[in-house]
């Protein structure tokens, strides 16, 4: 290399160094506590707290941030000799020029809404020091495409990525160390897809849910989560299978509403379930399992909870059941069986057992009836000549000792009523 070439090379290197000049700290007078940190484009107020931790500052409702493009706090630390620990609430929310953010591993805390509504934000690397992703950290960042989550992440709080419709996520992006996921954390992240396994997920952070509503996750496994949160996979048309703890205690309302591809769920026996919510499985027309609540303490099935289960093989309901709300078990398919393992409910809502797809078989096992089964609109009783069908179905289901028994009375108000009295304790009744 001759002298001229060497000079040109050094000049180019000098220009690069100038272009990517390091951060500097200048005195910034706000009660003697705030410094202005700049790198040419950016101007950010940084507050030094009494414990010597640093956080981005806010003044009169505005963040100290200006400029455009990439913001790399790793170079801030290196160039200024500071150690960032905490970002204040909304430190960089609602910015329209910030595109990329890199946080150093030293950052341990993000307070709510850190990047919320940042219209140009495409990428965030959260570093590896954070164990909790704060509430609404990137909520409604409409062009956010990628995030790198901390390796040892434990908690993802409410609405963390709610509304990030362009965010591409795969199961590999979610650390298996995660134990808690809050309300609407990934709601409407339509490009979140794949087979998600979270072995340590045990805490849905309260009664609210909808963690994965509107995502495209294809299968889900949280084998230590002992409840199914409200709306967890509501409006997810991609999910095919879901696994939870065998000790499920509650099934939240809307949990799988409109999960039109759902075929399998585990467990299928729910001995510890205390409640099932409104519309929990509404529209799961591909669900192909037998559901056994016979040992649970359910007292009622709410409206639409088990509606549209046209492929479910059978549903067993417990002795504690006293009420079926309207359309709670409507639209079961031909040849499917609903078992009442104790006395029939005393209250049945309109069309609770309605079947527009054909016959619904109701198997009532081990019962002793002394009162009537109250009004049930659109329940069609076993007519003379149908006994052969009933017995064949019982045989197909492996039920022995079946005797189709019933005395039927009708009223003229459009609903079918029927009364059963003095039946043997070991009777199995099939209604067609």
Task: Report which of 347, 405, 406, 417 is spatially closest to residue 378, judged by C-alpha positions.
Answer: 417
Is position 269 within any domain?
Answer: no
Give the C-alpha distances (Å, rounded to integers) separating 319 from 46, 267, 292, 377, 404. Answer: 64, 20, 12, 22, 21
Is position 352 within any domain?
Answer: yes
List, in sequence order, every residue forming a beta bridge with 192; answer none if it has no partner: 169
Q: Residues 309, 286: contact at Cβ < 8 Å?
A: no
- Rg of the chain, C-alpha, whole Å: 30
3-class DSSP state for residue 8?
helix
pLDDT above 70 (res 374): no
Is position 328 within any domain?
Answer: yes
Q: What is the pLDDT of residue 32?
A: 54
pLDDT above 50 (res 369): no
Q: What CA–CA distance (Å, rounded) separates 132 from 112?
A: 11
Q: Residues 100, 78: contact at Cβ < 8 Å?
A: no
Global pTM reads 0.81
Is position 370 within any domain?
Answer: yes
How does DSSP classify residue 228? B
- What is the domain extent for residue 356? 291-432
* DSSP letter string, 133-173: EPTTTTTT-TT--EEE--TT--EE-TTTTTT-TT--B-GGG
Q: What CA–CA distance (Å, rounded) separates 351 from 326?
A: 6
Is position 399 within any domain?
Answer: yes
Q: What CA–CA distance (Å, rounded) separates 71 from 76?
A: 9
Q: What is the pLDDT of residue 425?
A: 41
Kindly report the average pLDDT of the chain as a whole number: 78
Q: What is the pLDDT of residue 396?
A: 64
User: What SS3 string covers 337-390?
Assistant: EEEECCCCCCEECCCCCCCCCCCCEEEEEEECCCCCEEEECCCCCCCCCCHHHH
Residues 6+ apart with CB under 8 A from 16: none
Q: What is the pLDDT of residue 29?
A: 56
Residues 6+ apart with CB under 8 A from 378: 351, 353, 354, 355, 415, 416
Task: Report which of 42, 47, 41 is spatially closest to residue 29, judged by C-alpha positions.
Answer: 47
Is position 275 within any domain?
Answer: no
How does DSSP classify residue 269? B
Q: What CA–CA distance (Å, rounded) separates 46 from 58?
A: 9
Into how many domains does the chain fold? 1
Q: What is the pLDDT of residue 54?
A: 76
> pLDDT tens digits for 252-280?
999 999 999 999 999 999 999 999 999 99
Is position 258 within any domain?
Answer: no
Q: What CA–CA distance (Å, rounded) separates 47 from 40?
A: 20
> pLDDT tens digits for 110-159?
988 999 999 999 999 999 999 999 999 999 999 999 999 999 999 999 99
Is position 317 within any domain?
Answer: yes
Give the C-alpha distances (Å, rounded to integers) separating 9 from 3, 14, 15, 19, 21. Answer: 10, 9, 10, 15, 18
How does DSSP classify residue 11? H
* Band of pLDDT at residue 79, cut at 50, 70 and 90: confident
Q: Residues 373, 423: contact at Cβ < 8 Å?
A: no
Please return the burial class of 277, using the count of CB atoms within 10 Å of its CB with bins 0-12, 13-18 and 19+.
Answer: buried
């Amino acid at each position: 290399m001759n002298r001229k070439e060497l000079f040109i090379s050094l000049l180019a290197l000098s220009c690069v160094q100038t272009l990517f000049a390091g951060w500097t700290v200048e005195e910034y007078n706000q009660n003697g506590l705030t410094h202005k940190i700049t790198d040419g484009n950016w101007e950010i107020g940084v507050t030094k707290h009494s414990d010597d931790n640093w956080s981005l500052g806010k003044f009169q409702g505005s963040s100290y941030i200006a400029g455009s493009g990439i913001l790399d706090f790793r170079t801030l630390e290196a160039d200024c000799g500071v150690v960032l620990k905490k970002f204040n609430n909304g430190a960089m929310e609602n910015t329209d020029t910030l595109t990329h953010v890199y946080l150093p591993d030293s950052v341990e805390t993000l307070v709510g809404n850190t990047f919320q509504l940042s219209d140009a934000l495409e990428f965030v690397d959260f570093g590896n020091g954070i164990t909790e992703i704060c509430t609404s950290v990137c909520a409604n960042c409409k062009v956010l495409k990628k995030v790198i989550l901390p390796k040892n992440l434990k908690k993802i709080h409410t609405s963390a990525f709610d509304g990030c419709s362009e965010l591409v996520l795969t199961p590999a992006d979610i650390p298996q160390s995660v134990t808690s996921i809050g309300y609407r954390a990934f709601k409407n992240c339509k490009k979140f897809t794949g087979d998600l396994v979270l072995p340590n997920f045990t805490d849905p952070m309260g009664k609210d849910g909808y963690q994965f509503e509107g995502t495209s996750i294809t299968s889900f496994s949280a084998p230590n989560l002992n409840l199914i949160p409200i709306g967890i996979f509501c409006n997810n048309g991609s999910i095919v299978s879901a696994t939870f703890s065998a000790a499920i205690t509650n099934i939240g309302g809307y949990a799988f509403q409109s999960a039109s591809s759902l075929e399998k769920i585990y467990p299928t026996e729910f001995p510890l379930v205390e409640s099932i919510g409104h519309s929990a499985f509404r529209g799961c027309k591909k669900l192909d399992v037998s559901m056994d609540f016979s040992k649970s303490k359910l007292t009622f099935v709410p409206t639409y909870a088990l509606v549209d289960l046209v492929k479910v093989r059978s549903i067993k309901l417990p002795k504690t059941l006293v009420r079926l709300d309207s359309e709670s078990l409507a639209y079961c398919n031909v040849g499917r069986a609903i078992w009442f393992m104790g006395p029939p409910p005393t209250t049945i809502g309109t069309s609770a057992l309605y079947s527009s797809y054909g016959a619904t078989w109701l198997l009532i096992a081990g019962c002793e009836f002394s009162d009537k089964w109250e009004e049930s609109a659109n329940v069609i009783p076993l007519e003379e000549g149908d006994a052969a069908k009933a017995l064949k179905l019982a045989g197909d289901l492996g039920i022995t000792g079946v005797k189709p028994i019933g005395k039927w009375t009708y009223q003229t108000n459009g609903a079918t009523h029927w009364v059963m009295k003095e039946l043997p304790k070991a009777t199995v009744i099939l209604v067609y």
